[in-house]
A and B are shown apart, each in its own frame.
Chain A
Amino acid sequence: MEKVLICFAAALAIGLSAIATAWAQSRIGAAGAGTIAERPEMTGTVIILLAIPETMVILGFVVATMILYQ
């Protein structure tokens, strides 16, 4: 039972942060697509901005790893 709970906690840690990242990236992606349509020279900056919310899922992944490997 304890193992199930540990796995569930790890799944929650990465799942919820992945949903949060997806939501943030959807908003930034939509705004970024509009920006690139008007100013194509901003493509590089928009790609970087799009990568910023991935911190959440990476931190979620780290937490999940620590839960599983504790």
Chain B
Amino acid sequence: MIVRMSKLEIAGPKELLLEVLEIIREEGIFHPEPKAGDFLGSERRRELHRLVPDEATTAERIFLENLRQVTCEVIAILPPLENGESRLQPLPLLEGFAAGAGEQLSFCRQQDERRALLLREREQLGEYAVLLETIGTLLWDGEPGSGLEFIAITLKDPSLAERLGEMLGRLTGGELCMSTARGRDGTLVGLIAAPPQHSARVRELLSDERLPEFPFPAELRNLPLPERLARIGARIDAVERELGGVTASMETFARQWLPLYRRVERWVVERLGLLSAAGVVQETGLCFVILGWGRSDAVPGLTRRLGERFGGTVAVEELRLMEQDLEMVPVTLVNPPYLRPFELFTRLLPLPRYTSWDPTPFIGFFFPLFFAMMLGDAGHGLVLATASLLILRRWREGALADGARIMLVSAGCAILFGLLFGEFFGEAGGEILGLEPLLPRRSRAVIPMLVFSLALGGFHVILGLLLGTITALRRRQPREAAGKAATIGLLLCLAALAAGLALPSPWLLARPILATAGALIPLLFLFGGLLAPLELLKHVGNVVSYARIMAIGLGSALLANAANQLAGLSGDLILGAVAAIVLHCVAIVLGAFAPAIHALRLHFVEFFSKFVEHGGREFRPLRK
């Protein structure tokens, strides 16, 4: 249902503006209109101009923006402890807090930078340690004093090792060798042992291949391998200790200050929101004027609250809604709990206009019906209902929960139609349980089901056109309303003709129907224009499109029957049961998707196109 809106003008002394805005935001029912020109007549427009913030307001805003930056940065730096929010009122201590916040931010930054440096060093030292351990496995006994120079590299691509070995061999005439080994972290390390006269050319080749030599810190470069490892181990221990100290210091700070920072940040954001909201306010010489739209049901509450607080110095006036305003009125949808999950489907479409209809109630009624007619199996419905309940047990809110609620209602209807069709996991299941079909069997009565689907389609399309006629009348477009009414009349004539021709003894004489149709056709041209007959053909096509209810229903019934027959053909109880379960699972998955998509399509394309006018403005109230 589209919520009724009131056109409002709220006025009062300028010094009360922020307090009034605070109350409006708390109520959350007012959508401000920043363009006074479109909202009011030209005379009133000249009296008002956009409120320009004074010096104090601007200074406050700058102060709060700076404070917000500081608090945000401090909160981002500190460890995210679960110690909640302080209960202190920020306003009395704001100045003192702001004075100290700068120093605290510097402290936090220093600690954070130190921590980042230590983490980086620890990571680097870990890499060195792995590399040195790996190199240790590659060095042979005669390494000390062999006169060879050792160059260590890490190889990201293992296939590079062989190619590099060949290139080095060619470069030095086979006078050097390269060994590789994997480190404990999976890194592939290569160690090149080269005579001193070739080392420069080897380094040049490595540079050309973008394989830089592993950079050891200068203080470690000339030490023997065991001593390098010992030094690195000692440094890692020292870094760990220092890191622990820095982390503990930040946690102590966070325990003491984080709750207050969170409270202040929230307060500052709210206050800035309030100051921003003042940007949509108009002013006269002495007063502020806020123009906008309010939910009609909540306007008395807002008026009463403002009256109680300001004792009549702030006025709320409900302006007359003019015809030209209808395009500007913002739209919000409110539906009862049963229909609310179906807004999931409505949200797939743009918002309807204020003068149009909320599609949710229609989809909430017809979607489960169409779905059930297509699925139409009590067993499959039972499985889907169980699955929906399981989802709802795990997720109570959100799109998935809404989807599960829709599926639960639709599955309930499918169980009902399954009982009417006598199908429980196919017709065989219904026969075993002794279900007597109250409607014709879908797998055999193809033509009756087709006629029923088309009749339902005719009713749905005519209902859509009827609602479209009402919309046109509401918008004061009688010509369009008359065109739609003529179309409805012609569709009814066509339906009566089809019924009369199909029945063995026509209960309607063709001549009066043809005469009525003949009278309606000129009206159709007159009100609908030259393209009206094409529109009529489109509507007939829309009705025929409802044949999919029969087609998908037939497919669903045949699939379930085929699953039972294939299971019976196996000749083995266990194998047959497994085959039946698997095939019915396929049928249920198809049965959940195909009817849902086609039921939606019938609504979106065939039904809503007749009466829902899209392009409504979203209702965006000022709220905290």
Residues of A within 8 A of B (CB): 44-45, 47-48, 50-52, 54-55, 58-59, 61-62, 65, 69
Contact = CB atoms under 8 A, between A and B. Distances in A.
Interface in B356-405: none
| CB-CB nearest 9 A-B residue pairs | A44-B348, A58-B548, A51-B601, A62-B547, A51-B597, A58-B551, A61-B551, A55-B545, A65-B446
B435 interface: no
B544 A59 contact: yes
Contacts of B544: 59, 62
Contacts of B502: none
A58 B447 contact: no
A47 B604 CA distance: 12
Contacts of B604: 48
B605 interface: yes
B347 to A, nearest CB: 8
A19 to B, nearest CB: 17
B600 interface: yes
A58 B447 CA distance: 14
A69 B600 CA distance: 30
Contacts of B20: none
Contacts of A48: 348, 597, 600-601, 604-605
A69 B547 CA distance: 16
B489 to A, nearest CB: 26
Contacts of B450: 62, 65
B174 to A, nearest CB: 53
Given A45-B348, A55-B545, 18 more contacts: A44-B345, A48-B348, A48-B604, A48-B605, A54-B598, A54-B601, A55-B548, A58-B547, A59-B547, A61-B551, A62-B450, A62-B544, A62-B547, A62-B550, A65-B446, A65-B447, A65-B450, A69-B447
A26 B544 CA distance: 24
Interface string B531-572: 000000000000011011011000000000000000000000
B605 A52 contact: yes
Contacts of B597: 47-48, 50-51
A interface SS class? helix
A45 B597 CA distance: 10
A69 B448 CA distance: 11
Contacts of B551: 58, 61-62
Contacts of A51: 597-598, 600-601
A45 B345 CA distance: 10
Nearest to B447: A69
B274 to A, nearest CB: 31
7 contacts: A47-B597, A48-B348, A51-B598, A58-B551, A61-B547, A62-B550, A69-B447
Contacts of A65: 446-447, 450
B436 to A, nearest CB: 25
Nearest to B349: A45
Contacts of B605: 48, 52
- Most B CB within 10 A of own CB, among A45, A52, A54, A69: A54
A45 B346 CA distance: 11
Contacts of A50: 597
Given A51-B598, A52-B605, A69 B446 contact: yes
Nearest to B596: A47
Contacts of A69: 446-447
Interface in B331-362: 345, 348
B346 to A, nearest CB: 11
Nearest to B547: A62
Contact of A52 (B348, B447, B601): B601
A69 B447 CA distance: 8
A49 B597 CA distance: 10
A50 B598 CA distance: 10
A44 B151 CA distance: 59
Contacts of A44: 345, 348
Contacts of B547: 58-59, 61-62
A51 B597 CA distance: 7
A16 to B, nearest CB: 16
Contacts of A58: 545, 547-548, 551
Nearest to A65: B446
Nearest to A47: B597
Contacts of B446: 65, 69
A23 B605 CA distance: 21
A50 B597 CA distance: 9
A44 B604 CA distance: 11
Contacts of B600: 48, 51
A65 B447 CA distance: 8
A28 to B, nearest CB: 13
B603 to A, nearest CB: 9
Nearest to A45: B348
B190 to A, nearest CB: 41
Nearest to B545: A55
A52 to B, nearest CB: 7
B607 to A, nearest CB: 13
Nearest to B446: A65
